[in-house]
Protein backbone atom coordinates (compact mmCIF):
# COMPACT_ATOMS: atom_id res chain seq x y z
CA UNK A 1 0.00 0.00 0.00
CA UNK A 2 1.27 3.43 -0.93
CA UNK A 3 2.01 5.68 2.03
CA UNK A 4 0.33 9.09 1.92
CA UNK A 5 1.70 11.80 4.11
CA UNK A 6 -0.80 13.17 6.69
CA UNK A 7 -0.22 16.67 5.39
CA UNK A 8 -1.27 15.62 1.87
CA UNK A 9 -4.38 13.91 3.21
CA UNK A 10 -5.32 17.10 5.04
CA UNK A 11 -4.89 19.17 1.88
CA UNK A 12 -7.03 16.75 -0.11
CA UNK A 13 -9.80 16.90 2.49
CA UNK A 14 -9.71 20.69 2.63
CA UNK A 15 -9.79 20.88 -1.15
CA UNK A 16 -12.74 18.52 -1.36
CA UNK A 17 -14.62 20.52 1.25
CA UNK A 18 -14.02 23.79 -0.55
CA UNK A 19 -14.95 22.23 -3.88
CA UNK A 20 -18.23 20.97 -2.45
CA UNK A 21 -18.99 24.35 -0.88
CA UNK A 22 -18.13 26.15 -4.10
CA UNK A 23 -20.29 23.82 -6.17
CA UNK A 24 -23.20 24.29 -3.77
CA UNK A 25 -22.80 28.06 -3.85
CA UNK A 26 -22.59 28.09 -7.65
CA UNK A 27 -25.61 25.83 -8.01
CA UNK A 28 -28.05 28.72 -7.58
CA UNK A 29 -30.48 29.99 -4.99
CA UNK A 30 -33.31 27.62 -5.93
CA UNK A 31 -31.02 24.64 -5.34
CA UNK A 32 -29.91 26.19 -2.06
CA UNK A 33 -33.55 26.54 -0.96
CA UNK A 34 -34.27 22.95 -1.96
CA UNK A 35 -31.31 21.69 0.06
CA UNK A 36 -31.80 23.86 3.17
CA UNK A 37 -35.59 23.91 3.27
CA UNK A 38 -35.66 27.60 4.10
CA UNK A 39 -35.73 30.93 2.29
CA UNK A 40 -33.59 33.46 4.18
CA UNK A 41 -34.74 37.06 3.65
CA UNK A 42 -32.62 39.92 4.94
CA UNK A 43 -34.04 43.26 6.01
CA UNK A 44 -32.65 46.48 7.42
CA UNK A 45 -34.43 47.84 10.48
CA UNK A 46 -34.85 51.40 9.21
CA UNK A 47 -38.42 52.19 10.20
CA UNK A 48 -40.03 50.74 7.06
CA UNK A 49 -40.53 47.44 8.86
CA UNK A 50 -43.09 47.19 11.63
CA UNK A 51 -44.15 44.64 14.21
CA UNK A 52 -47.54 42.98 13.99
CA UNK A 53 -49.73 41.98 16.91
CA UNK A 54 -47.70 38.81 17.45
CA UNK A 55 -44.40 40.71 17.52
CA UNK A 56 -43.26 39.47 14.11
CA UNK A 57 -41.58 41.77 11.59
CA UNK A 58 -44.06 43.14 9.05
CA UNK A 59 -44.32 45.84 6.42
CA UNK A 60 -45.00 46.40 2.73
CA UNK A 61 -41.67 45.06 1.45
CA UNK A 62 -41.75 42.18 3.95
CA UNK A 63 -45.21 41.19 2.67
CA UNK A 64 -43.93 41.10 -0.92
CA UNK A 65 -40.88 39.10 0.13
CA UNK A 66 -43.18 36.57 1.78
CA UNK A 67 -45.15 36.31 -1.47
CA UNK A 68 -41.90 35.52 -3.29
CA UNK A 69 -41.33 32.77 -0.72
CA UNK A 70 -44.78 31.38 -1.54
CA UNK A 71 -43.88 31.35 -5.24
CA UNK A 72 -40.59 29.54 -4.56
CA UNK A 73 -42.47 27.03 -2.41
CA UNK A 74 -44.82 26.23 -5.30
CA UNK A 75 -42.09 26.16 -7.96
CA UNK A 76 -39.93 23.78 -5.95
CA UNK A 77 -42.94 21.77 -4.77
CA UNK A 78 -41.76 22.18 -1.21
CA UNK A 79 -44.81 22.90 0.97
CA UNK A 80 -42.58 22.92 4.06
CA UNK A 81 -40.23 25.65 2.73
CA UNK A 82 -39.92 28.19 5.56
CA UNK A 83 -39.39 31.94 5.14
CA UNK A 84 -36.81 33.14 7.67
CA UNK A 85 -36.40 36.88 8.28
CA UNK A 86 -32.91 38.01 9.30
CA UNK A 87 -31.95 41.56 10.26
CA UNK A 88 -28.79 42.86 8.57
CA UNK A 89 -26.93 46.11 8.97
CA UNK A 90 -26.72 48.86 6.35
CA UNK A 91 -23.01 48.16 5.95
CA UNK A 92 -23.30 44.41 5.36
CA UNK A 93 -26.60 44.18 3.50
CA UNK A 94 -25.17 43.72 -0.01
CA UNK A 95 -22.19 41.59 1.00
CA UNK A 96 -24.62 39.31 2.87
CA UNK A 97 -26.43 38.71 -0.44
CA UNK A 98 -23.24 38.28 -2.47
CA UNK A 99 -21.79 35.79 0.05
CA UNK A 100 -25.01 33.76 0.29
CA UNK A 101 -25.66 34.60 3.93
CA UNK A 102 -29.14 35.71 2.89
CA UNK A 103 -31.05 34.68 -0.23
CA UNK A 104 -32.66 38.05 -0.88
CA UNK A 105 -32.48 41.57 0.54
CA UNK A 106 -35.90 43.02 1.16
CA UNK A 107 -35.69 46.47 -0.41
CA UNK A 108 -32.83 48.66 -1.69
CA UNK A 109 -32.19 51.38 -4.27
CA UNK A 110 -30.54 49.89 -7.39
CA UNK A 111 -27.43 51.72 -8.62
CA UNK A 112 -24.75 50.84 -11.16
CA UNK A 113 -22.17 50.56 -8.39
CA UNK A 114 -24.36 48.17 -6.40
CA UNK A 115 -25.09 46.08 -9.51
CA UNK A 116 -21.39 45.24 -9.60
CA UNK A 117 -21.96 43.32 -6.36
CA UNK A 118 -25.56 42.09 -6.55
CA UNK A 119 -28.45 41.87 -8.98
CA UNK A 120 -31.92 43.37 -8.56
CA UNK A 121 -35.51 42.38 -9.18
CA UNK A 122 -38.00 44.50 -11.06
CA UNK A 123 -38.93 47.57 -8.95
CA UNK A 124 -41.23 46.94 -5.98
CA UNK A 125 -42.08 50.59 -5.39
CA UNK A 126 -40.61 54.03 -5.05
CA UNK A 127 -39.94 56.39 -2.21
CA UNK A 128 -39.91 60.16 -2.20
CA UNK A 129 -37.06 61.84 -0.33
CA UNK A 130 -38.12 64.72 1.90
CA UNK A 131 -36.45 66.74 4.64
CA UNK A 132 -37.13 67.37 8.31
CA UNK A 133 -35.99 70.63 9.90
CA UNK A 134 -36.55 72.44 13.17
CA UNK A 135 -39.41 74.91 13.36
CA UNK A 136 -36.86 77.65 14.10
CA UNK A 137 -34.57 76.77 11.16
CA UNK A 138 -32.75 79.69 9.46
CA UNK A 139 -35.01 81.58 7.04
CA UNK A 140 -32.57 81.29 4.15
CA UNK A 141 -32.35 77.49 4.54
CA UNK A 142 -36.12 77.16 4.75
CA UNK A 143 -36.57 79.21 1.59
CA UNK A 144 -34.06 77.12 -0.31
CA UNK A 145 -35.47 73.79 0.88
CA UNK A 146 -39.06 74.78 0.14
CA UNK A 147 -38.26 76.29 -3.25
CA UNK A 148 -39.27 79.81 -2.18
CA UNK A 149 -35.84 81.43 -2.30
CA UNK A 150 -35.52 85.04 -3.54
CA UNK A 151 -34.15 85.81 -7.03
CA UNK A 152 -30.39 85.17 -7.45
CA UNK A 153 -29.71 88.92 -7.62
CA UNK A 154 -30.51 89.33 -3.93
CA UNK A 155 -27.34 89.36 -1.81
CA UNK A 156 -27.77 87.97 1.69
CA UNK A 157 -26.01 89.38 4.74
CA UNK A 158 -24.08 91.82 2.59
CA UNK A 159 -22.01 89.09 0.95
CA UNK A 160 -22.22 86.74 -1.95
CA UNK A 161 -20.27 84.02 -0.16
CA UNK A 162 -22.11 80.70 0.16
CA UNK A 163 -23.65 79.70 3.46
CA UNK A 164 -22.49 76.53 5.18
CA UNK A 165 -24.98 74.12 6.70
CA UNK A 166 -24.83 70.63 8.20
CA UNK A 167 -27.17 68.12 6.58
CA UNK A 168 -27.69 64.59 7.82
CA UNK A 169 -28.17 61.51 5.67
CA UNK A 170 -28.21 57.80 6.43
CA UNK A 171 -24.77 56.35 5.77
CA UNK A 172 -24.61 54.26 2.61
CA UNK A 173 -27.68 55.77 0.90
CA UNK A 174 -27.80 57.44 -2.51
CA UNK A 175 -29.07 60.78 -1.23
CA UNK A 176 -25.81 62.48 -0.24
CA UNK A 177 -24.27 63.24 -3.67
CA UNK A 178 -27.57 64.43 -5.17
CA UNK A 179 -28.14 66.84 -2.28
CA UNK A 180 -24.62 68.22 -2.37
CA UNK A 181 -24.92 69.02 -6.07
CA UNK A 182 -28.39 70.53 -5.78
CA UNK A 183 -27.63 72.78 -2.81
CA UNK A 184 -24.30 73.88 -4.25
CA UNK A 185 -26.29 75.43 -7.10
CA UNK A 186 -28.10 77.51 -4.44
CA UNK A 187 -24.81 78.68 -2.95
CA UNK A 188 -25.14 76.55 0.15
CA UNK A 189 -22.06 74.51 1.06
CA UNK A 190 -22.79 71.47 3.17
CA UNK A 191 -21.10 69.40 5.81
CA UNK A 192 -22.53 65.89 5.70
CA UNK A 193 -23.45 64.25 8.99
CA UNK A 194 -23.68 60.48 8.50
CA UNK A 195 -26.16 58.64 10.71
CA UNK A 196 -26.97 54.96 11.01
CA UNK A 197 -30.76 55.18 10.64
CA UNK A 198 -33.80 57.46 10.44
CA UNK A 199 -34.24 57.82 14.19
CA UNK A 200 -30.66 59.00 14.63
CA UNK A 201 -31.03 61.46 11.76
CA UNK A 202 -34.11 63.06 13.31
CA UNK A 203 -32.32 63.23 16.65
CA UNK A 204 -29.38 64.99 14.98
CA UNK A 205 -31.79 67.75 13.94
CA UNK A 206 -33.27 67.89 17.44
CA UNK A 207 -29.78 68.19 18.96
CA UNK A 208 -28.80 70.84 16.37
CA UNK A 209 -25.96 68.69 15.07
CA UNK A 210 -27.66 68.99 11.68
CA UNK A 211 -29.81 71.71 10.15
CA UNK A 212 -31.84 69.19 8.14
CA UNK A 213 -32.14 65.44 7.69
CA UNK A 214 -33.14 63.80 4.40
CA UNK A 215 -34.85 60.42 4.08
CA UNK A 216 -37.94 58.73 2.67
CA UNK A 217 -41.11 60.56 3.63
CA UNK A 218 -42.87 57.60 5.34
CA UNK A 219 -39.78 57.01 7.47
CA UNK A 220 -39.54 60.69 8.42
CA UNK A 221 -43.20 60.98 9.37
CA UNK A 222 -42.98 57.87 11.52
CA UNK A 223 -39.76 58.94 13.28
CA UNK A 224 -41.01 62.48 13.93
CA UNK A 225 -44.29 61.15 15.34
CA UNK A 226 -42.27 59.07 17.82
CA UNK A 227 -39.96 61.93 18.85
CA UNK A 228 -40.60 63.75 22.16
CA UNK A 229 -39.62 66.94 20.26
CA UNK A 230 -42.16 66.44 17.45
CA UNK A 231 -43.78 69.83 18.11
CA UNK A 232 -40.46 71.47 17.22
CA UNK A 233 -39.95 69.54 13.99
CA UNK A 234 -41.35 70.06 10.49
CA UNK A 235 -41.36 67.53 7.65
CA UNK A 236 -41.30 69.55 4.45
CA UNK A 237 -43.75 68.70 1.67
CA UNK A 238 -41.24 69.32 -1.10
CA UNK A 239 -40.03 66.18 -2.88
CA UNK A 240 -36.27 66.37 -3.44
CA UNK A 241 -35.81 63.03 -5.11
CA UNK A 242 -37.77 59.95 -6.06
CA UNK A 243 -35.97 56.62 -5.88
CA UNK A 244 -36.95 53.18 -7.08
CA UNK A 245 -36.81 50.25 -4.67
CA UNK A 246 -36.12 46.63 -5.61
CA UNK A 247 -35.08 43.33 -4.03
CA UNK A 248 -31.37 42.47 -4.15
CA UNK A 249 -30.36 38.92 -5.10
CA UNK A 250 -27.13 37.17 -6.06
CA UNK A 251 -25.59 38.01 -9.41
CA UNK A 252 -25.70 35.54 -12.32
CA UNK A 253 -28.67 33.67 -10.86
CA UNK A 254 -31.20 33.98 -13.67
CA UNK A 255 -33.43 31.11 -12.54
CA UNK A 256 -34.06 32.63 -9.14
CA UNK A 257 -34.43 36.12 -10.56
CA UNK A 258 -37.07 34.77 -12.94
CA UNK A 259 -38.91 33.26 -9.96
CA UNK A 260 -38.81 36.60 -8.11
CA UNK A 261 -39.86 38.71 -11.11
CA UNK A 262 -42.62 36.28 -12.08
CA UNK A 263 -44.03 36.34 -8.55
CA UNK A 264 -43.94 40.14 -8.36
CA UNK A 265 -45.43 40.59 -11.84
CA UNK A 266 -48.36 38.33 -11.01
CA UNK A 267 -48.99 40.17 -7.74
CA UNK A 268 -48.95 43.53 -9.57
CA UNK A 269 -51.65 42.30 -11.95
CA UNK A 270 -53.82 40.88 -9.16
CA UNK A 271 -56.20 42.43 -6.59
CA UNK A 272 -53.59 41.55 -3.94
CA UNK A 273 -51.38 44.54 -4.71
CA UNK A 274 -53.84 47.32 -3.73
CA UNK A 275 -54.68 45.40 -0.54
CA UNK A 276 -51.02 44.98 0.48
CA UNK A 277 -50.23 48.59 -0.39
CA UNK A 278 -53.23 49.89 1.57
CA UNK A 279 -52.44 47.73 4.60
CA UNK A 280 -48.91 49.04 5.11
CA UNK A 281 -48.76 52.38 3.30
CA UNK A 282 -51.88 54.14 2.06
CA UNK A 283 -54.64 53.85 -0.52
CA UNK A 284 -52.83 53.60 -3.86
CA UNK A 285 -53.77 56.42 -6.22
CA UNK A 286 -54.09 56.03 -9.97
CA UNK A 287 -50.47 57.03 -10.57
CA UNK A 288 -49.26 54.33 -8.19
CA UNK A 289 -51.42 51.64 -9.79
CA UNK A 290 -50.19 52.67 -13.24
CA UNK A 291 -46.62 52.36 -12.01
CA UNK A 292 -47.15 48.73 -11.02
CA UNK A 293 -49.01 48.01 -14.26
CA UNK A 294 -45.95 49.28 -16.12
CA UNK A 295 -43.46 47.33 -13.95
CA UNK A 296 -45.27 43.98 -14.31
CA UNK A 297 -43.61 41.85 -16.97
CA UNK A 298 -45.98 40.17 -19.43
CA UNK A 299 -46.30 36.39 -19.33
Domains annotated on the chain, with CATH: 27-126+244-295 (3.40.190.10), 127-242 (3.40.190.10)
Mean pLDDT across 161-173: 79
Asked if 125 and 289 touch (Cβ cutoff 8 Å), the reply is no
Q: How far apart are CA 285 and CA 231, in angstroms?
A: 30
Least confident of 4-18, 23-37, 112-126, 252-266: 4-18
Q: How far apart are CA 167 and CA 194, in angstroms?
A: 9
At 22-77, the pLDDT tens digits run 444 456 999 999 999 999 999 987 544 556 666 678 888 999 999 999 999 999 99
pTM for this entry: 0.74
Q: Which of 76, 89, 95, 64 is nearest to 38 (CA)?
A: 76
pLDDT on residue 7 = 53
Kindly state the percentage of the chain with pLDDT values over 70. Answer: 78
pLDDT band at 184 (very low <50, low <70, confident <90, very high): low
Asked if 168 and 201 touch (Cβ cutoff 8 Å), the reply is yes
Q: What angle do CA 198, 204, 209 make, to 5 degrees?
A: 150
Q: Is 120 left (phi over 0), alpha (psi -120 to 50) or beta?
A: beta
Q: How far apart are CA 123 and CA 191, in angstroms?
A: 32
Three-class SS state of 206:
helix
Amino acid sequence: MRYVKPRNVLLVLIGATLLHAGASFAAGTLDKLRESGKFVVGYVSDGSSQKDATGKVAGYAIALCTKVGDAARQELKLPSLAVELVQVSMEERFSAVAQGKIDMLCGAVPTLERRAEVSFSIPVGFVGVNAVIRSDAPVRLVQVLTGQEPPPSVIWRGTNAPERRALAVVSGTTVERALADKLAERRIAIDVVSVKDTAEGVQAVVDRRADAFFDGRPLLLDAVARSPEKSNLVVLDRLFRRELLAFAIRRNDDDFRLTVDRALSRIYRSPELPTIYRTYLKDPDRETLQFFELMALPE
